Chain A
């Protein structure tokens, strides 16, 4: 029995006005990354979300940024975001303390097509902070374990100290029905795991290309090279999904900041079937 079917895609909230959310919990993941748990300040129920969707988080007086939801879609009462400090707003977000408030609009965007992987092997490839938008897929897949054949997570990070969700990775890795491979770009000799780019994990993962659905998220160059490798190994580009990132502002397809060719990343994406955008992803300065 599938215990945690995800319902139909959440409706796009047609609002530009943020709702108030309170920081319930803040957990430091790495030196520059924190996970915030948010709850509605007014006590109302948060909107349900689907894996891969994002919210616009507004730090008052600083600005608003799109942040993927990294929590469990079956626990929608808590809105969980994993945020890496890369600028003024994200820096302010990871400095928030429990009890402080933020504005939130969302959820927005297209989800990972988790049901496309049913009765197939599910391959999840994450690089760096790209594991955060894919964590809801892992939660969903493990809650519906019998719906999938093999489930494999390949995760690449900069160094061992930059690995996200360390304890969860250990827990996932301990399962007999979930294959987890981790690699880092460089490490001290004390590290006993893999060192090298994430694509080097594809060989030990021993794919069955014709029965595999792949979901890839990370820096664009990492996604491009990973997908190239997956396709070379025989996976149909129609069975590969990527999550794109662009400078999203309105999140509703009005402003055009996130336009990529004919696509608006905020409303047509961020998750795309690779075959739909393969002609765009390699274009320089688009």
Chain B
């Protein structure tokens, strides 16, 4: 049975518990996309005009380090969000994102969704609150990575 976009969104953790009215509005900005292994979702400094929620597969968030080449700093799995630069001016990606394996995702048109949030501040607040939680979790995890707790101790 083919699921409607609203039904798909109900299963996504970041949208869990949202009213059907909000889900319907968000669904109007969403589409299904597919990426082949190695395909780029977005690149650093491009306009952040979409964001994604992985339905199946694995996405790597990479950063290019001069002299070292690309380094993967995070992978994102089923149900997780890829990208939040679409929420904040200047709406430019800070990292690259790449499909590690064949990946299906929901893509959200950022301009469409920002417009809906401007029209309905209650939706905007709810989305901002939920994405802020994702951002906080990612920042806290990044702090632990920066600590390099498994790193090489000094003799």
Of B104-112, B114-122, B128-136, B140-148, the one contacting chain A is: B140-148
A219 sits at the interface (CB 8 A): yes
Taking a contact as CB atoms under 8 Å apart, the answer to whether A185 and B145 are in contact is yes
- How close is B147's CB to chain A, nearest CB, in angstroms? 6
Min CB gap A245→B, angstroms: 12
Report A-chain residues with C-beta under 8 Å of the C-beta of B151: 158
- Find out whether the CB atom of B141 lies under 8 angstroms from the CB atom of A200: yes
Question: Are A195 and B150 closer than 8 Å at their CB atoms?
Answer: no
A88 touching B149, Cβ below 8 Å: no
Chain A residues closer than 8 Å to B153, beta-carbon distance = 84, 86-87
Closest to A183 in B: B75
CA distance A186 to B142 in the complex (A): 11
B150 touches A162 (CB 8 A): yes
Interface residue B98 (Cβ < 8 Å from any Cβ of A) = yes
Residues from chain B with Cβ under 8 Å of A87 in the complex: 153, 155
* Residue numbers in B under 8 Å from A185 (CB-CB): 145, 148, 150
Select A187's contact among B72, B78, B149, B152, beta carbons within 8 Å. B72
Instruction: Pick from A88, A91, A183, A225 the residue with the most CB of B within 10 Å.
Output: A225
Tell me the residues in window 10-45 of chain A with beta carbons closer than 8 Å to chain B beta carbons: 32
A192 interfacial contact with B, CB 8 Å? yes
A157 within 8 A of B: yes
Encode B53-74 as 1/0 by CB contact (under 8 A) with A.
0000010111000000111111
Please give, as numbers and ranges, the residues of chain B lying within 8 Å of A84 by CB-CB distance.
153
Closest to A225 in B: B144
Inter-chain contact A219/B72, CB cutoff 8 Å: no
Question: Across the interface, which residues of A come within 8 angstroms of B34, CB to CB?
Answer: none
- The yes or no answer to A128 lying at the interface (CB within 8 A) is yes
The answer to whether A219 touches B152, judged by C-beta atoms less than 8 angstroms apart, is no
B71→A187 contact, CB < 8 A: yes
| Chain B residues positioned under 8 Å from A162 (CB to CB) | 150
A191 at the interface (CB under 8 A from B): yes
Task: Determine the residue in chain B with the shortest Cβ distance to A87.
Answer: B155
**Are B71 and A188 in touch, CB under 8 angstroms?**
yes
Chain B nearest CB from A186 CB (Å) reads 6
B100 within 8 A of A: yes
- What is the CA–CA distance of A24 and B79 in the complex, to the nearest angstrom? 49
Chain A residues, CB < 8 A from B147? 221
* Residue from A85, A127, A203, A204 within 8 A of B150 (CB atoms): A127
**What residues make up the interface of B, taking CB atoms closer than 8 Å to A?**
58, 60-62, 69-75, 77-79, 98, 100-101, 141, 144-145, 147-155
Extra contacts besides A86-B154, A192-B58 (12): CB < 8 Å: A88-B155, A158-B151, A183-B75, A185-B150, A186-B71, A189-B98, A195-B75, A196-B141, A197-B144, A218-B149, A221-B144, A222-B144
Q: A: which residues have CB within 8 A of B?
A: 32, 84-88, 91, 127-129, 156-158, 162, 183, 185-189, 191-197, 199-200, 203-204, 218-219, 221-222, 225
Can you report 15 A-B residue pairs in the complex whose CB atoms are below 8 A from each other? A86-B153, A86-B154, A128-B149, A129-B150, A187-B71, A189-B62, A192-B58, A192-B100, A192-B101, A195-B74, A195-B75, A197-B145, A199-B144, A203-B79, A204-B78
